[in-house]
């Protein structure tokens, strides 16, 4: 294979990390279901366990099929390495695990997937981690929230459920001035539409369950390391820049340089937390990634046409999609996602809560479920499902008011998508 860094995105989405199987000649990546791998001899085993040599030990740590997917996602995002996990939530846990200690803080956008807000604001308290949520529309809000205990910034490139585009470059600049890494969830646009590392992000996370896998059949997450953050610039990141007792005093940043974060995530994160991606899910995700560039162009084209059409529909009050020229996030969308603002957005139905429920129930082509990123078009009414435990005021604040309907526009024929929405809206 030619130098991978010189190859185009579509080529790398098919070939990165993979080659014909040396034993059988199989061109497709094999599904390696083995739990453990035989050592050549005692010295080989010692070198692997001592992190002196790379290779396969036990599938909780490393697996040949998962390794291919890790290399592929890292290549597509422009990172030096990646760690794949069992889900997007476990990817977020692993990303912060490397930098956080009990009593530490991180600053996060308040325009996040609802599950992330719950994970950060409630569950992470059990680790002694504190989150400070800020409005990312003004990047300076991140600076105002920084304290001596701050260890990271976290934001989404395109906010779920849609419409808000974060100024990654500005937020990353403030993070670096504060001596902390900028972590960006790039699930919604995928690297086909947005590559945060090119704009200053240090770590990129994904729920690969969504657009990278793309077919609604494989759970997974990924943490991609840019390799650009200096973990030894201060004394904040001792897991990476101080001696590790579990490895006889090994200093990850000193030993592995730009790969320190990825090596720690495998050697400590996967070893001790265990959120491992299965070989089968890695295989399905590899297969999905091969068509990522084609799918995302179709997703984005369909979404823009549907959003423009909904703006003119008499049953619709408003549409929030960064691809629309009247969106307050249009300029940022053009900067960070010039080939399309993704497939997920929200709109408001005239008639409020009851009308929103009826629209969802009347859809036939759209599937009513709590997921995004499928080849199929998906729909949900957040106020009656994912956000029903909140008060109406809280729902509105979260962008999930009574009239809100969220779409994940698929890659079907766009006229069929519009026809299904039209008959559902004409109630």
For 365-421, how does the pLDDT look when each residue is reduced to its tens digit (9 = 90+)?
999 998 999 999 999 998 888 777 667 776 776 677 899 999 999 999 999 999 999
Contact 157, 170 (CB under 8 A): no
The maximal CA–CA distance of the chain, rounded, in angstroms, is: 73
Q: pLDDT-derived band of residue 1, with 50, 70 and 90 as boundaries?
A: very low
Task: Provide CB contacts within 8 A for 194, sequence distance 6+.
Answer: 157, 158, 186, 336, 337
Q: Write down the pTM of the prediction.
A: 0.95
Can you give the residue range of the structural domain that contains 273?
7-289
Q: What is the pLDDT of residues 331-365, one digit of tens each?
A: 999 999 999 999 999 999 999 999 999 999 999 99
Tell me the two tokens of residue 261.
């974060």
In the predicted model, is pLDDT for residue 137 greater than 70?
yes
Say if 409 falls within a structural domain. yes
End-to-end Cα spacing for the chain = 57
Residue 77's pLDDT is what? Answer: 98
260-281 burial, b at 16+ Cβ within 10 Å, e below that, comes to bbbbbbbbbbbeeeebbbbbeb
Say if 26 falls within a structural domain. yes
Mapping DSSP to helix (H, G, I), strand (E, B) and coil, where does residue 276 land?
A: strand
Say if 274 falls within a structural domain. yes
Tell me the two tokens of residue 163.
């419409």
Domain shared by 128 and 240, yes or no: yes
DSSP class per residue in 56-69: -SBTTT--HHHHHH
Q: How many structural domains comprise the chain?
A: 2
Domain shared by 269 and 235, yes or no: yes
Say if 1 falls within a structural domain. no
200: left (phi over 0), alpha (psi -120 to 50) or beta: left
Q: What is the CATH number of the domain that holds 362?
A: 3.90.1150.10
Domain shared by 102 and 63, yes or no: yes
- Of 193, 192, 194, which Cα lies nearest the Cα of 184? 194
Domain shared by 350 and 263, yes or no: no
Q: pLDDT-derived band of residue 214, with 50, 70 and 90 as boundaries?
A: very high
Tell me the β-bridge partners of 408: 344, 378
417-426 burial, b at 16+ Cβ within 10 Å, e below that, comes to bbebbeebbe
10 Å CB burial of residue 50 (0-12, 13-18, 19+) is exposed
Q: How far, in Å, CA of 247 to CA of 243, rounded?
A: 8
- CA 17 to chain centroid, in Å, comes to 20
């Amino acid at each position: 294979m030619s130098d991978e860094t010189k190859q185009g995105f579509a080529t790398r989405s098919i070939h990165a990390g993979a080659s014909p199987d040396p034993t059988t000649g199989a061109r497709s990546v094999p599904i390696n279901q083995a739990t453990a791998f035989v050592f050549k001899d005692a010295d080989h085993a010692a070198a692997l366990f001592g992190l002196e040599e790379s290779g396969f030990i036990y599938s909780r740590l490393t697996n040949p099929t998962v390794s291919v997917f890790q290399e592929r996602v890292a290549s597509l995002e422009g990172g030096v390495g990646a760690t794949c996990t069992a889900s997007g939530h476990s990817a977020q846990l692993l990303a912060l695990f490397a930098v956080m200690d009990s009593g530490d803080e991180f600053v996060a956008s308040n325009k996040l997937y609802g599950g992330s807000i719950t994970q950060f604001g409630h569950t992470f308290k059990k680790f002694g981690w504190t989150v400070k949520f800020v409005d990312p529309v003004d990047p300076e809000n991140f600076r105002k929230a920084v304290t001596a205990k701050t260890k990271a910034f976290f934001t989404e490139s395109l906010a779920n459920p849609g419409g808000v585009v974060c100024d990654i470059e500005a937020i990353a600049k403030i993070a670096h001035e504060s001596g902390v890494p900028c972590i960006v969830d790039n699930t919604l646009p995928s690297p086909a539409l947005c590559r945060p590392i090119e704009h200053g992000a240090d770590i990129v996370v994904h729920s690969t369950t969504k657009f990278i896998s793309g077919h609604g059949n494989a759970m997974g997450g990924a943490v991609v390391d840019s390799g650009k953050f200096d973990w030894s610039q201060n004394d904040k990141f001792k897991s990476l820049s101080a001696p590790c007792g579990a490895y006889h005093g090994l200093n990850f940043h000193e030993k592995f340089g730009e790969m320190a974060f990825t090596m720690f995530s495998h050697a400590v994160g996967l070893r001790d937390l265990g959120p491992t991606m299965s070989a089968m899910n890695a295989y399905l995700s590899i297969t999905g990634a091969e068509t990522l560039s084609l799918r995302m162009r179709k997703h984005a084209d369909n979404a823009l046409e549907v959003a423009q059409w909904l703006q003119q529909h008499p049953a619709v009050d408003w549409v929030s999609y960064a691809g629309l020229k009247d969106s307050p996030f249009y300029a940022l969308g053009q900067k960070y996602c010039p080939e399309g603002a993704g497939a997920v957005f929200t709109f408001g139905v005239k008639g409020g809560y009851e009308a929103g429920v009826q629209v969802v129930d009347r859809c036939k082509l759209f599937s009513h479920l709590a997921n995004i990123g499928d080849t199929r078009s998906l729909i949900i009414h957040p106020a009656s499902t994912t956000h029903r435990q909140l008060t109406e005021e809280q729902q509105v604040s979260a962008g999930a008011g009574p009239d809100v309907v969220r779409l994940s526009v698929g890659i079907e024929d766009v006229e069929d998508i519009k026809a299904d929405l039209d008959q559902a809206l004409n109630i």
